Chains A and B, each alone.
Chain A
Amino acid sequence: MKILVIDDEPIIRRALLRAFKVHDHDVQLAEDATVGERLWLELCPDVVMLDVLMPKITGPQLLAKMKPQLEKLKTKVILMSAYTGEFDTKLTVHKGAHMFLSKPFNDIFAVVKTVEGLIR
């Protein structure tokens, strides 16, 4: 499974990379939405894990831009945020994402399992 992680927090990217690598997934990292968009189109990942609050372009802004091509690219999008109040599940679906993960993750391995479940 090909996974693209777009998050401005280095240690989150690192943790997700390590967690998915254990399970032999192909993980690519982007530190902002611009890089994320380029890699997304270039690599056509199965899953994009997209942080909501990022400087310059936010997660939902990038998502809105990519929404028309999501189906063609067959990409599933997971929004991640600590502001659970603002981006709840309904809003996630409305924006075109497939899942919402609230930070902090209590169990990183459960996150891996959830993402794997989304693809199957």
Chain B
Amino acid sequence: MEQVKPSKKIIQYLDHLTQLSDVEQIFSFINQELKRFKKVRDTFLCFSPGVKNRCILFTENKKISMKPLSESWPQGQTIRIDSSDDSHYIANHIKRPVGQLLAFPILMSQGSPLYKLDVPATIYVEHIAGQSGVADLIQDLLPYIQPLQYALERSFLQSFLRGASIEWQNTFDGLKDPICIIDIEFNALRSNLGFSDGRSHEKCYELFSGDQQKCKGCPVPKVIETNSYQTAVVKNRGKNYEVHSYPIKRSKDESVTTIVSHYVDVSKKQELLSKMLQSEKLAVIGHLAGNIAHELNNPLTGIRSLADILTAEVNEDLQLKSDLKEVSAAAERCQKIIKSLMLFSSDHRKTNKQVVSMKEQVEVSLTLLKSSFRSLNVSINLENGDDKIFIIPELFIQVIYNLVQNACQASKEGGALYISTVLQPGVVLFKVKDEGGGIPKEIISEIFTPFFTTKDKGQGTGLGLSMSQSVVESFGGKIIVSSEEGEGSEFIVRLPRASGATL
């Protein structure tokens, strides 16, 4: 070994060392190289790979072992010769007695955020050089040990970058919102799982929507054009996404090179908002209807009264008399509708429960539904008898209205609609049955959920059935649904008979 020209040997050594990037490989190589010295018994490497942990590498049964270190090894920036601190430390950690030790601290570039310790690594050489030979041994070893700084620094940096990259991708994928980084040609450079299933190197729109052309409304062209943040709403697979696109520039003055787009699913938010607006609108319409009804009431009263007076004055034989009777009857019908409308739109919070006839409640409600019946074949069968129920009429009318209106909307043109009241021991039933499409099994449990609707946007609030159910339950009753897909649905309101109830 000593016969070989040192310079040539060192060049070979360096050549090999530069090809290694893994710290275990580096240790294995240097361990093998240093053991060629007759005075060298063994080597150990203590190091701190990054900021988090410390390890020791040593050979055990001719194999490389790595152990974590809970505390730091003796620190110090100069070479230590046969320090008992070092010997104790190493012996404790590799669980065998060790002889004389040389400690070579390996320093790295200053200011690197990677290393928590002043001395990120120390290589220990167990030797038998004795006091007289140790200075020569150090001289012989230094050419081998000094280059280790660069090899280890490169290795640590690589593992740090690898870790950081994994951490970054995990964070990226952990975000549920789709995110994609693209170049100005719309090539996806990187995207998270929310955006695609990890594929890249395709156009972003291919990954996102599967289309061969840019998403409609995409804000990216404007980002490139204006060099500034843009946002827009883009539709994809039935969902609405608010896309926030940010330009990324290498320097302040350069034009945009990449664009980060963050997609926020706003479908639910928009749906909720439109439902809120719809129910708000309905409340206003209800109030308006009440006011209009009231305004119409006055002239109608006059029309009817006057028609009645004239009818009384006109000679029985005249055609005029029956004409006037028609006017009066029409005015009376209008009054009934208006009365129902006022009841329907009135503020029920001020009213109390009353004992009323189910049949009368249904009749009042139906006056509001005549126009919905126009294209249907409606049969009404209201049973006479003790059909008293203890309810708030203003609210109950809305329940009947909702159920019948739903049935009308579910029916096909010319379809049959059955409305009935039935008296049973202790209970009074209101039934409405249609022959429409029925309710699919998978959604029947959801129909009473607030805001659940199958109607088109703006057609229904999704509140009718949930409101009806809570109203009927507050009267001690319940709503029973039975539906067969393709056959139709039946809603039954079951209320306790109020024969025993007091006012």
- Binding between chains A and B: yes
In this assembly, does B303 line the interface, its C-beta being within 8 Å of a C-beta of chain A? Answer: yes
Contact in complex: B306, A104 (CB < 8 Å): no
Q: Count of chain B residues with Cβ under 8 Å from any Cβ of A? A: 18
| Interface size class of chain A, counting residues whose CB lies under 8 Å from the partner chain | 20 to 34
Neighbouring A residues of B309 by C-beta, 8 Å: 15, 18-19, 22, 108
Contact in complex: A16, B305 (CB < 8 Å): yes
Known interface pairs A82-B294, A83-B294; A14-B301 also in contact (CB < 8 Å): no
Of the residues A11, A19, A105, contact of B299 by C-beta under 8 Å: A11
Neighbouring B residues of A10 by C-beta, 8 Å: 302
Contact in complex: B306, A11 (CB < 8 Å): yes
CB nearest to A107 among chain B residues: B308
13 examples of A-B residue contacts, CB within 8 angstroms: A12-B298, A12-B302, A15-B306, A16-B305, A18-B306, A22-B309, A22-B312, A105-B301, A105-B304, A105-B305, A107-B308, A108-B304, A108-B306
Q: Does more than half of chain B's interface fall in helix, strand or loop, or is it mixed?
A: helix
Within 8 A of B (CB), among A69-114: 82-83, 85, 103-105, 107-109, 111
Contact in complex: A103, B298 (CB < 8 Å): yes
Contact in complex: B305, A108 (CB < 8 Å): yes
Ordered nearest first, which 10 A-B pairs have the shortest CB separation?
Answer: A11-B302, A15-B305, A104-B301, A108-B305, A15-B306, A12-B302, A9-B298, A18-B309, A15-B302, A82-B297
Q: Does more than half of chain A's interface fall in helix, strand or loop, or is it mixed?
A: helix
Within 8 A of A (CB), among B259-305: 294, 297-305
Neighbouring A residues of B350 by C-beta, 8 Å: 85
- A109-B313 Cα distance, complex, nearest whole Å: 12
- A43-B182 Cα distance, complex, nearest whole Å: 91
CB nearest to B342 among chain A residues: A82
In this assembly, does B367 line the interface, its C-beta being within 8 Å of a C-beta of chain A? Answer: no
Question: In the complex, how many angstroms separate the beta carbon of B340 from the nearest chain A beta carbon?
Answer: 13
Neighbouring A residues of B294 by C-beta, 8 Å: 82-83
Neighbouring B residues of A15 by C-beta, 8 Å: 301-302, 305-306, 309
- A111-B335 Cα distance, complex, nearest whole Å: 17
Neighbouring A residues of B310 by C-beta, 8 Å: 18
- A105-B301 Cα distance, complex, nearest whole Å: 6
Contact in complex: B297, A104 (CB < 8 Å): yes
Contact in complex: A103, B303 (CB < 8 Å): no
Neighbouring B residues of A11 by C-beta, 8 Å: 299, 302-303, 306
Contact in complex: B312, A104 (CB < 8 Å): no
